[in-house]
A and B are shown apart, each in its own frame.
Chain A
Amino acid sequence: MLLKLTCLIPLFPLIGSIINGFFGLKIGKKAVGFIACGSMTLSFLTSVLVYVGYLMLPEGQHVYEQVVWTWFGASDFNVDFGFQVDPLTLVMMFVVTGIGLIIHVYAVGYMQEEFSYYRFFAYFNLFVSAMLLLVMGNNFLLMFIGWEGVGLCSYFLIGYYFEKKSACDAGTKAFIVNRVGDFAFLLAVMYIFNIFGTIDFTEVMHAAPEKLIYAGEAVTIITMLLFVGATGKSAQIPLYTWLPDAMEGPTPVSALIHAATMVTAGVYMLVRCSVLFNLSPMTMTVVAFIGGGTAIMAATIGMTQFDIKRVLAYSTVSQIGYMFMACGVGAYTAAIFHLVTHAFFKACLFLGSGSVIHGIHGEQDMRKMGGLKKHMPITYWTFLISALTIAGIPPLAGFFSKDEVLYHSLMDGNIIFWGMGISAALLTAFYMFRLVFMTFHGESRVDPSVHPHESPKMMTMPLVVLAGLATVGGMLGLPFLHGWHILHNWLEPVLHFDLANALQHSEHMLHEAGRHAPSWAHLLEPKEHNGWIEFALMVFSTVVAITGVVGAYIFYIWRPDLPEKFTQGQWGFDMVQNKYYVDELYDDVFVKPTVEGSNLLWKECDAKAIDGAVNGAAKTIGWFSRQAQTLQSGFVRNYALFIVVGFISLLLAMF
């Protein structure tokens, strides 16, 4: 039975991590790289076997669960250490192991000159293991373990260059900001247990329509808490500020953790809990608004940054905003579709930027690049393909996934969401090509002492593979051929939701509670798939994407003096370039009061009140001791006298 192999998938990277972590320094760089990539390969191959095994499941069975052992149990609270394999897990599993493998290979080349090579790979493998636990766990608590595990590895890897203060600070920031979200997530899990008496995904999702009232308080609180958890991990408003700073880590880390996998964990979680979210229209609206808002805001900031990796970081935030918007309008398939294609092209973009940085010896400022096209052709072409993909030029993968998101935001949401999405698409095309033009085209502004060179094969091969995936990835979800949408059909069992049934249960529950159920009839009207609107939207968004690219061309190739003119002295531009002063705001509102409050507690409360009380007590006792010490005179006869006096007084007391 091939599915029995499931538990091995996260085990391989874990073993690799342990070997590299404990013996990495002794076994040498080659062995470390071999073990890291080898464990990923094994993990990937096992995923393929599990996929084959899954396909052989009998008709009608969509979930395979493997309980490895019972983790702990306390009366009616039982948590299994178990994995589940269903279509959604399989998609995520392939993204994590597949892209993880490619990036591991790249990292072997990229990190070659690092001293603590083994440390990097130990963390990197551990990350993959935790991420697999996150997507494969069969209950909320196991998912939470993975959730915390990836956060921890992210912290380790952002602070990889721990000699640099900024890297340490960025790591700490990521960790602390994530903690806010994690706390909400944990609260949601507790609430879920409180209501359902179990935290197993299958059981909770099955029981949800019967136990939760549609649009009721409980489900809204649960989903809101889950969503806050997701905003932390997936860098959405208001908890997105850590992601751009996380670019302090090595580039493969940015590619794997902060673009392809970990930051999409929030989207995965939302889709995994789609049943709960479907029951709470209010949360859905909030999710869509936050997603759309993040998409636009991050895109505007991305337009003004000069650090190549920061632009990509804001682009990631913006694209994840798209995914959340898709979730918010109920288009979970579109969200996962965009997640997958985004993993392809964003990983490729990050690795490409890493190749550029590698080629010009660590320079990240785009103002000191330019004209690199002829020096690094492979990097250029793969980067260009990915940039076209993210900009949404047909027939590349990003075009299909983005259009699906846009189509659903118009049809299932409303025109505001679509407006947010399409403006973000325009900005995306602009800032991506600003990046391409500033880096690869025009005149070289590279430091004359630096000789740009193409990266070694070990690094360019992964780029080519990822660019290829970014090109053909759109096949997963071709439009027009409705009913042939591969991903949609594939995910159907996971996303299946019977609204009519849920509403019936809710009405019943409300009646029992003696309350009147509102009219939900309009919710049940069937929605038609309108191919013509979709086609029109596609044409429109293609035009928008091309406009963005042309705009970037005008600004950065044709008339390079224009950006200066437009931005000089504009307060609006300054505001965007300074990231809307959100970091400063958070500093003032959260960080500084905390620091000052702590200082106050330290100097006033701790040093004065507590230390004063403790020292005062000691001083008082000391004073009494000094009075008593005169009794110890050193004259033996004195002591003898005390003994006699004491004995006599005892005798007197007795009689």
Chain B
Amino acid sequence: MLENSVPLSHYLMLSATLFVIGIAGVLIRRNVIVVFMSIEIMLNAVNISLIAFDNYMNLSNGQIFSFMVICVAAAEVSVGLAIIIALHRNKPSVNLDDFNLLKW
């Protein structure tokens, strides 16, 4: 356990910055792959804050939880990419705005 090496606030700021970058990516970009990557960034931002708190509070729950998140993210990637491929087969495009059929 390193005392006073890097304060918690720095980790949290990094985490928040990454999260906002992810949100911005999801909201602004149209490329499906990029949006997908942005989501991954958001997940990892959360992971950073989990580990940081874990370290700060001297617990191990946060680590376990972040492993869970990584697992879920991996699963999500496999499903998400499969969906993207299926979409691409139906409509040769990676532009998110082209896929707007599912509405009233």
- B27-A634 in contact (CB<8A): no
B5 interfacial by beta-carbon distance below 8 Å: no
Name the segment of A10-18, A433-441, A635-643 touching the other chain.
Answer: A635-643
Contact pick for A632, options B23, B97, B104, CB 8 Å: B104
Mark contacts of A244-258 with chain B using CB atoms, 8 A cut-off: 1 yes-contact digit, 0 otherwise: 000000000000000
Alpha-carbon gap, A635 to B30, bound state (A): 10
- Contacting residues of chain A (626-654) with chain B, CB-CB under 8 angstroms: 629-630, 632-637, 640-641, 644
B6 interfacial by beta-carbon distance below 8 Å: no
On whether A632 and B103 interact (CB within 8 A), knowing A640-B27, A644-B27, the answer reads yes
Looking at the assembled complex, report how far the CB atom of B82 sits from the nearest CB atom of chain A, in whole angstroms.
17
Alpha-carbon gap, A261 to B97, bound state (A): 86
- B96-A637 in contact (CB<8A): yes
B16 interfacial by beta-carbon distance below 8 Å: no
Which residues of the other chain, A, contact B100 by a CB distance below 8 angstroms? 633-635
B75 interfacial by beta-carbon distance below 8 Å: no
- B103-A633 in contact (CB<8A): yes
Alpha-carbon gap, A629 to B102, bound state (A): 12
Looking at the assembled complex, report how far the CB atom of A217 sits from the nearest CB atom of chain B, in whole angstroms.
71
- B96-A635 in contact (CB<8A): yes
Looking at the assembled complex, report how far the CB atom of B98 sits from the nearest CB atom of chain A, in whole angstroms.
10
Size bracket of the B interface: 10 to 19
- Contacting residues of chain B (58-104) with chain A, CB-CB under 8 angstroms: 96-97, 99-104
- A637-B104 in contact (CB<8A): no
Which residues of the other chain, A, contact B97 by a CB distance below 8 angstroms? 635, 637
B33 interfacial by beta-carbon distance below 8 Å: no
Alpha-carbon gap, A618 to B96, bound state (A): 36
Alpha-carbon gap, A549 to B24, bound state (A): 114
- B27-A637 in contact (CB<8A): yes
Which residues of the other chain, B, contact A632 by a CB distance below 8 angstroms? 103-104
Alpha-carbon gap, A5 to B97, bound state (A): 89
- A644-B101 in contact (CB<8A): no
Contact pick for B23, options A633, A635, A636, A644, CB 8 Å: A644
Which residues of the other chain, A, contact B101 by a CB distance below 8 angstroms? 634
Alpha-carbon gap, A641 to B97, bound state (A): 14
Which residues of the other chain, B, contact A640 by a CB distance below 8 angstroms? 26-27
Mark contacts of A378-395 with chain B using CB atoms, 8 A cut-off: 1 yes-contact digit, 0 otherwise: 000000000000000000
Which residues of the other chain, A, contact B30 by a CB distance below 8 angstroms? 637
Interface of chain A: mostly helix, strand, loop or mixed: helix
Residue of A nearest to B39 (CB): A640
Looking at the assembled complex, report how far the CB atom of A12 sits from the nearest CB atom of chain B, in whole angstroms.
70
Residue of A nearest to B28 (CB): A637
Looking at the assembled complex, report how far the CB atom of B14 sits from the nearest CB atom of chain A, in whole angstroms.
20
Which residues of the other chain, B, contact A633 by a CB distance below 8 angstroms? 100, 103
- A634-B23 in contact (CB<8A): no
Mark contacts of A607-640 with chain B using CB atoms, 8 A cut-off: 1 yes-contact digit, 0 otherwise: 0000000000000000000000110111111001
Which residues of the other chain, A, contact B23 by a CB distance below 8 angstroms? 644
Which residues of the other chain, B, contact A636 by a CB distance below 8 angstroms? 96, 99
Looking at the assembled complex, report how far the CB atom of B37 sits from the nearest CB atom of chain A, in whole angstroms.
14
Looking at the assembled complex, report how far the CB atom of B17 sits from the nearest CB atom of chain A, in whole angstroms.
16
Looking at the assembled complex, report how far the CB atom of B24 sits from the nearest CB atom of chain A, in whole angstroms.
10
- B27-A641 in contact (CB<8A): yes
Which residues of the other chain, A, contact B102 by a CB distance below 8 angstroms? 634
Which residues of the other chain, B, contact A644 by a CB distance below 8 angstroms? 23, 27
Residue of B nearest to A644 (CB): B23
Alpha-carbon gap, A632 to B35, bound state (A): 20
Looking at the assembled complex, report how far the CB atom of B35 sits from the nearest CB atom of chain A, in whole angstroms.
8
Looking at the assembled complex, report how far the CB atom of A647 sits from the nearest CB atom of chain B, in whole angstroms.
9
Which of B27, B99, B101, B104 has most A Cβ within 10 Å? B104
- Contacting residues of chain A (126-176) with chain B, CB-CB under 8 angstroms: none
Looking at the assembled complex, report how far the CB atom of B23 sits from the nearest CB atom of chain A, in whole angstroms.
6
Mark contacts of B4-30 with chain A using CB atoms, 8 A cut-off: 1 yes-contact digit, 0 otherwise: 000000000000000000010011001
Looking at the assembled complex, report how far the CB atom of A623 sits from the nearest CB atom of chain B, in whole angstroms.
14
Alpha-carbon gap, A632 to B102, bound state (A): 8
- B103-A637 in contact (CB<8A): no
Looking at the assembled complex, report how far the CB atom of A655 sits from the nearest CB atom of chain B, in whole angstroms.
15
Which residues of the other chain, B, contact A629 by a CB distance below 8 angstroms? 104
Alpha-carbon gap, A644 to B28, bound state (A): 13
Looking at the assembled complex, report how far the CB atom of A646 sits from the nearest CB atom of chain B, in whole angstroms.
13
Alpha-carbon gap, A630 to B103, bound state (A): 9
Looking at the assembled complex, report how far the CB atom of A638 sits from the nearest CB atom of chain B, in whole angstroms.
9
Residue of A nearest to B103 (CB): A634
Alpha-carbon gap, A636 to B96, bound state (A): 7
Which of B99, B102, B103 has most A Cβ within 10 Å? B103
Which residues of the other chain, A, contact B103 by a CB distance below 8 angstroms? 632-634
Looking at the assembled complex, report how far the CB atom of A255 sits from the nearest CB atom of chain B, in whole angstroms.
72
Looking at the assembled complex, report how far the CB atom of A648 sits from the nearest CB atom of chain B, in whole angstroms.
10
Alpha-carbon gap, A641 to B23, bound state (A): 9
Looking at the assembled complex, report how far the CB atom of B103 sits from the nearest CB atom of chain A, in whole angstroms.
3
Alpha-carbon gap, A335 to B27, bound state (A): 99
Residue of B nearest to A648 (CB): B23
Alpha-carbon gap, A629 to B103, bound state (A): 9
Residue of A nearest to B26 (CB): A640
Alpha-carbon gap, A640 to B97, bound state (A): 13
Which residues of the other chain, B, contact A637 by a CB distance below 8 angstroms? 26-27, 30, 35, 96-97
Alpha-carbon gap, A190 to B103, bound state (A): 64
Alpha-carbon gap, A76 to B96, bound state (A): 78
Alpha-carbon gap, A633 to B104, bound state (A): 8
Which residues of the other chain, B, contact A635 by a CB distance below 8 angstroms? 96-97, 100
Looking at the assembled complex, report how far the CB atom of B73 sits from the nearest CB atom of chain A, in whole angstroms.
17
Residue of A nearest to B30 (CB): A637
- Contacting residues of chain A (403-449) with chain B, CB-CB under 8 angstroms: none
Looking at the assembled complex, report how far the CB atom of B31 sits from the nearest CB atom of chain A, in whole angstroms.
11
Alpha-carbon gap, A636 to B84, bound state (A): 13
Looking at the assembled complex, report how far the CB atom of B33 sits from the nearest CB atom of chain A, in whole angstroms.
14
Alpha-carbon gap, A135 to B32, bound state (A): 88
Cβ-closest 8 pairs across A and B = A634-B100, A634-B103, A629-B104, A632-B103, A640-B26, A632-B104, A635-B100, A634-B102
User: What would be 20 A-B contacts, judged by CB atoms less than 8 Å apart?
Assistant: A629-B104, A630-B104, A632-B104, A633-B100, A633-B103, A634-B99, A634-B101, A634-B102, A634-B103, A635-B96, A635-B97, A636-B99, A637-B26, A637-B27, A637-B30, A637-B96, A637-B97, A640-B27, A644-B23, A644-B27
Given A634-B103, A637-B35, 10 more pairs with CB closer than 8 A: A633-B100, A634-B99, A634-B101, A635-B96, A635-B100, A637-B26, A637-B27, A637-B30, A637-B96, A640-B27
